[in-house]
Amino acid sequence: MECTQEGHIYRLDHHVDDNTKQEIRFMKKENGVLVYNGTTNEEVLAMLIDRMKYLNAKCACRENSIVITKLEESLMWLNKRTELRVTQGVETLDKPHKS
């Protein structure tokens, strides 16, 4: 993994080809204004949860189940953080977060 813009743009290695990278770009806001669009932590966690459930269905193990639980817990805490910030008026929901 390589970070090309701290906290916002990451280049991930491919499993086989060391010369190929996949870029993941996170939404960036400054003073509540969208600078550029991208994904969110919540979306990445939802993707990982889906992938781990898929893998666990193919070859279930205790470790996969624990990973799924911890990822779901992480997503829950991020959603709680967002709910709190919305109630405090320091954040708005541009798009509803899915659980």
Q: Encoding tokens for residue 78?
A: 């991020």
For 21-33, the pLDDT digits (tens) are: 999 999 998 887 8
Q: Letter for the amino acid at 6?
A: E
- Rounded to two decimals, the pTM is 0.84
**Across residues 42-61, what is the average pLDDT?**
98
- Taking every pair of C-alpha atoms in the chain, what is the biggest distance, in angstroms? 46
Residue 99 CA to residue 88 CA, distance in Å, equals 21
The CB density around residue 45, as the number of other CB atoms within 10 Å, is 21
Residues sharing a CB contact under 8 Å with residue 26, sequence separation 6 or more, in sequence order = 7, 8, 9, 38, 39, 40, 41
List the domain boundaries for the chain.
1-39, 40-99
